[in-house]
């Protein structure tokens, strides 16, 4: 294709993305494009990790009801993973049951990348992205979800022992076979993104991003935009800190990750709580919740961004979805930056499991 042809094609893609963001699905949620391969979803998705792990014990019936309510409100992107069932498939099974009769109307994203059969060490589960393991996990996920295709298949974490070219090539084969529709990566840096994208187009990158966590802004987001990759922020509400319903680490049970999360520890907790109170005051002045302010801030960072806040509460869910209709002014965005110029106090993960780019 000529250089002029490339520019014309890019212009058409940009026009398509702008039109997609302006569209709304039948339930009123704006639709956004993720990548240039045709994936389009509601502007706010739903993360399901907390329904089976990390945030205490969940209620299956209540979780399924939350997924169904999300769909009623216009959510079409639902995020799960092999890891979220700790190798049992429970999280994928829950989601599969919840969307069984609306499967063709939703986008299911799941992830591989850990060796759930190996014993855990200080760093958690060992990584495993060997091609044969990818295929094994994909078949398990298809069975657990009760579907014959996965919309987005993510590599959950980059495996330093397996070339990313092999990973992208294997998922490309699964796409050709009709078992997967789009390639996604999670917590991948610029070099890995470029190398994977050269083998097979990457549609989505999923990485932590919020007013609390801003590391992707310097080097990752520019490459995502250059390559035309959609961005899905996980933990967009700071693992619940940005809901305002928080308490010190010592008051959470041992099976809740906030009991050891650095941002909840003494010193960091108080600093972060002060910031959230200032954000809450800003939100109150606009007649919205601090949760809606945090999600609206993310949505304002680009029309290629679709956050996936997790919740087991239909009430919280409705509040999150309503953030798609919140418009923030330049003054609002400047005030958020003033309150949290570099994000939250404390590390997002312990050093032993911190993703590296």
Active site residues: 84
- Tell me how far CA of residue 322 lies from CA of 20, 39, 124, 189, in angstroms: 18, 22, 36, 31
Pairing mode of beta strands 31-34, 39-42: antiparallel
The 10 Å Cβ neighbour count of residue 128 is: 20
Length of the chain measured in residues: 357
* Residue recorded with tokens 């590296």: 356
Burial class (CB in 10 A: 0-12, 13-18, 19+), 171: buried
Residue 9 in contact with residue 1, Cβ under 8 Å?
yes
Burial class (CB in 10 A: 0-12, 13-18, 19+), 194: middle
- Tell me how far CA of residue 246 lies from CA of 45, 126, 288, 312, 355, in angstroms: 23, 31, 18, 16, 25
Q: What is the CA angle 122-128-129, rounded to 5?
A: 145
In sequence order, the 6+-apart residues with CB closer than 8 A to the CB of 283 are 289, 290, 292, 293
Residue 308 in contact with residue 323, Cβ under 8 Å?
no
* Dihedral pair phi/psi, residue 151, rounded to 5°: -70, -55
> Under DSSP, is residue 231 helix (H, G, I), strand (E, B) or coil?
strand
Give the span between the Cα atoms of 186 and 163, in whole angstroms. Answer: 15
Residue 120 DSSP code:
P
- Tell me how far CA of residue 348 lies from CA of 77, 182, 223, in angstroms: 24, 28, 22
Query: How far is the first Cα of the chain from the last one, in angstroms, to the nearest whole number?
Result: 33
């Amino acid at each position: 294709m000529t250089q002029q042809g490339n520019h014309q094609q890019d212009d058409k893609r940009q026009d398509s993305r702008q039109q997609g963001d302006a569209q709304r699905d039948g339930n009123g949620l704006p639709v956004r494009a993720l990548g240039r391969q045709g994936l389009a979803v509601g502007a706010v998705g739903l993360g399901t990790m907390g329904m089976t792990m990390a945030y205490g014990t969940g209620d299956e019936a209540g979780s399924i009801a939350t997924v169904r309510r999300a769909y009623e409100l216009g959510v079409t992107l639902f995020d799960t993973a092999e890891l979220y069932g700790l190798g049992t498939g429970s999280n994928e099974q829950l989601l599969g049951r919840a969307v069984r009769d609306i499967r063709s109307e939703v986008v299911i994203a799941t992830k591989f990348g850990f060796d759930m059969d190996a014993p855990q060490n200080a760093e958690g589960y060992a990584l495993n992205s060997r091609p044969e393991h990818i295929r094994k996990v994909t078949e398990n996920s298809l069975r657990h979800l009760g579907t014959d295709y996965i919309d987005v298949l993510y590599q959950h974490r980059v495996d330093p022992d397996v070339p990313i070219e092999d990973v992208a090539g294997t998922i490309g084969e699964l796409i050709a076979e009709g078992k997967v529709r789009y390639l996604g990566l999670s917590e991948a840096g610029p070099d890995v993104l470029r190398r994977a994208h050269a083998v097979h187009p990457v549609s989505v990158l999923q990485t932590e991003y919020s007013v609390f966590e801003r590391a992707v802004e310097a080097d990752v987001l520019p490459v995502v935009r250059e390559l035309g990759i959609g961005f899905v922020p996980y933990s967009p509400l700071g693992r619940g800190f940005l809901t305002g319903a928080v308490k010190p680490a010592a008051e959470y049970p041992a099976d809740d990750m906030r009991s050891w999360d650095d941002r909840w520890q003494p010193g960091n907790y108080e600093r972060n709580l002060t910031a959230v109170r200032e954000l809450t005051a800003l939100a109150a002045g606009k007649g919205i919740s601090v949760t809606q302010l945090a999600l609206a801030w993310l949505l304002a960072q680009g029309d290629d961004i679709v956050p996936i806040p997790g919740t087991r509460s239909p009430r919280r869910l409705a509040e999150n979805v309503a953030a798609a209709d919140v418009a923030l002014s330049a003054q609002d965005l400047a005030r958020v930056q003033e309150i949290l110029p570099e994000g939250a106090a404390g590390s997002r993960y312990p050093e032993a499991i911190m993703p590296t780019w």
